[in-house]
Amino acid sequence: MPSPRPARLIVNAFLGVLALAVGALLLWHRAIPDVGGVMGLIESVLPWFGVPVLVLAVVAAVRRSAFIGVGTLAAVIVWLAVFVPHIVPDGGHGTAKVTVISQNVDAGNRDPERTIASLAARKPQVIALQELTSASTAAAERSLDARYPHHFIVGTVGVWSELPLYHEQSLTLGLGWKRALRVDVATDDGLVRLYALHAASLRPGEFSVRNRMLHTLATTLRADHSTKLIALGDFNAASTDRAFTQLLGTVNEPDLTGWGFGFTWPSVLPFVRVDHVLERGLPVVSNTVLPGNGSDHRPVEVGLR
C-alpha cells in the first residue's frame, strides 16, 4: 500500500503557500490590477482575511505542519501590522465644539422619521443625510427644521445645521447628475468647508462610476485650500479600497474612539465601513459608529474642536 506521506506533503505545501499568499495580498493588494471592480470588492473586505488565517493556524496545529505554521505566522504578523493600528481606540482629547452626524437613511426605510429623530436626539450641530426620498426629505423637515433652521438639499443629499450655512453649491463630481454638495458652516472659530456626498455603488460592471466620483472628489479636495474642511457621507468604499485611499492624501480619517473597525453596513451584523467623516485642520475629539436605527446603514458621529 503506497505511503500517504507524499500526498500529505503536497497538501501541507499548498496550505503553506496559501497562507503566504494571503499575507502577500494584504501587503501588496494595490499592485494587482482592478479588472471589473473585483479588486475593489476584495479590498472592501480585507480585514476579514484574518478569518482564513485563523483557520489555517488551526489546520497547522492539527496537521503538525511546520510549513503551514511558518506561512500562517507570516500572514498573522502582516494582518496585525496592517490592521491593529486601526482597531485600537483613540481616547480623544478635549471637548467637542462641533459635532457632526452622517447617515444614509435608506430609500426603503419604512419609518424615516424615527431614524432621523434618533439623530436629532443626540443634539449634534450638523446632520448630513444621504439617499433621501420625497418621503424621508419631508420627514427630515418635520423632525429637524425647528432645531436646525439652516439646511441645503441637493438631490438625495442634504445637510441640516444649527449654525449658519453660506456659499451653498451643488456638485456632480464628474457625473451627469447632482449627487453631492459643498457648503460653508459658520462656527465660532470661523468658516468650515463641508462636502457631503453619496457615491455611486460598487457593483461589477458599474464600479467605474463610483471610482470617477471619488477621483473627482480627491481632485476637488486637493484644489480646495480651505484650512478647515470636512468631507462626509456614504462613499460606498471601505478605508482599504484603493479608490478611497486616494482621498487620504489631502484629508484624514480620524481613529475610532472605541475598539474595532467601525463597520457601518449593513446595519444588522455590519461587515464593512462605507460611511465616513474625513477632516482637515480640525482636531478630533471622538469618532463613533452609532447603533442601528431603522436604516440599512449605521450613522457615524464625529466630535471636533
CA 119 to CA 184: how far, in whole Å? 21
Give the type of residue at 278: L
CA 261 to CA 268: how far, in whole Å? 15
Output the pLDDT for position 4: 55
Range(s) of the domain holding residue 123: 98-304
Output the pLDDT for position 205: 67
Output the pLDDT for position 91: 64
CA 177 to CA 179: how far, in whole Å? 6
Grid cell 462605507 is found at 274
User: What dihedral do alpha carbons 142, 168, 106, 102 form, nearest 10°?
Assistant: -90
CA 277 to CA 301: how far, in whole Å? 8
- Indicate if 50 and 183 belong to the same structural domain: no
Which one of 87, 111, 137 terminates a domain?
Answer: 87
Output the pLDDT for position 1: 44
Which one of 62, 87, 112 terminates a domain?
Answer: 87
Output the pLDDT for position 185: 98
Is 283 within 8 Å of 94 (Cβ atoms)? yes
- pTM, whole model, 2 decimals? 0.92
**What letter would DSSP give residue 249?**
G
- Indicate if 126 and 10 belong to the same structural domain: no
Asked, for residue 93, whether it belongs to a domain, the answer is no
- Indicate if 250 and 145 belong to the same structural domain: yes
- Indicate if 61 and 110 belong to the same structural domain: no
- Indicate if 128 and 65 belong to the same structural domain: no
CA 148 to CA 169: how far, in whole Å? 19
- Indicate if 59 and 136 belong to the same structural domain: no
CA 39 to CA 166: how far, in whole Å? 39
Task: Give the helix/strand (H/E) hosting 14.
Answer: helix 5-28
Count of structural domains, the chain: 2
- Indicate if 36 and 158 belong to the same structural domain: no
pLDDT less than 50: residues of the chain:
1
Phi, psi of 41 (to 5 degrees): -65, -45
User: Within 13 Å and on the Cβ side, how many CA atoms surround 123?
Assistant: 2
Task: Give the helix/strand (H/E) hosting 104.
Answer: strand 98-104
What would the pLDDT profile of 207-260 be if each residue is shown by its tens digit?
Answer: 889 999 999 999 999 999 999 999 999 999 999 999 999 999 899 999 898 889
- Indicate if 30 and 114 belong to the same structural domain: no
CA 103 to CA 115: how far, in whole Å? 10
- Indicate if 267 and 190 belong to the same structural domain: yes
- Indicate if 58 and 102 belong to the same structural domain: no
- Indicate if 25 and 143 belong to the same structural domain: no
- Indicate if 141 and 234 belong to the same structural domain: yes
Question: What CATH code is carried by the domain that includes residue 116?
Answer: 3.60.10.10
